[in-house]
Structure 1
């Protein structure tokens, strides 16, 4: 292994450590606690080392968002592939999405709420974000119904899931009716 290859590998390891530490800190204490100073202390590197990887917190949020989007896509695909029939796949998708949002609130915020400097729904949207949407589209496209494009239906269903996730987490929706809300969403929107 050349010196250049070793340095590139070490750089990639440091970058993964920064992202993992930011994610852990955000999940424990919220995104306000994620500062370059805090990160530098936790990973035992200087702030200039952090800045050699990321220009600031915004880029770190973006890196967490990309990692989280890949995990969300994998969770949705795993859940939907294990379900039999279109209706069951849509239920599985809804539960996988909402479970991901509940288990990973800081990551979910990085993907959907915070400014990580990432373009959405554009030609230059990063692949993990496109893939997360594709994971939803793969399942929801088959239940869009006549006269509705699968992309538009997926956006609408996704927006509904996002609303359920954020309103439940903020305490604006009582948790005891969570399953009924999912049933309503699937029964009223999905044409199965």
Structure 2
């Protein structure tokens, strides 16, 4: 391995460590606890090293969001592949989405509540965000209905899931009714 390759590998490992540490800290104590000073202490590098990877907290939030959406897309695809039939696939997709949001609140915030500098539905939308939407579209396009734009249907279904995730987390919706809400969404919106 050349010196240049080793330096690139070391840099990539430091970047992964920064993102993993920021995510862990945010999940434990909330995003307000994630500061460059605290991250530098936890990973035992100086703040200038952090700034050589990320210009600040905003970019770190964006990196956590991209990592998280990649995990979410993989979970959605695995759940829908394991399900048999359209109803089961859509139900699995909805449950997996809501479960991911509940188990990863800091990641979910990085994706949808905080400014990570990421563009959604734009020309310069990062590929992991496009793939996250594609993971939804792959299942929902099959149940959109005749004459309905599959992309638009996916946006509406996604918005309903996002609303449930956000309102349940804020204790505006009782969590014990999540299963019933998912079934209502699948029955009425997906027509299954």
Same-fold call, TM cutoff 0.5 = yes
Equivalent residue number for residue 40 of structure 1: 40
Residue ranges of structure 1 left out of the alignment (5+ in a row): none
Kindly report the root-mean-square deviation, in angstroms, between the aligned alpha carbons of the 2 structures.
0.6
Q: Report SS of the residue matched to 1:90.
A: helix
Matched, 1:4 2:22: no
Offset, 1:6: 0.5
Aligned partners of 1:9 and 1:177: how far apart in 2?
47
1:191 shift after superposition: 3.1
Structure 2 CA distance for aligned equivalents of residues 101 and 128 of structure 1: 17
Q: CA deviation at 1:134?
A: 0.1
1:7-64 CA-partner distances (Å, limit 9, x unpaired): 0000000000000000000000000000000000000000000000000000000000
Aligned twin of 1:123: 123
Question: For 2:32 and 2:116, how far apart are their aligned partners in 1?
Answer: 14
**Under a length normalisation based on structure 2, what TM-score does the superposition of the two structures give?**
0.99
Q: SS of the residue aligned with 1:181?
A: helix
Q: Deviations over 1:67-97 (max 9, x none)?
A: 0010000000000000000010000000010
Residue 100 of structure 2 corresponds to which residue in structure 1?
A: 100
Provide runs of 4+ in structure 1 moved above 2 Å.
none
| Unaligned segments of structure 2, at least 5 residues | none
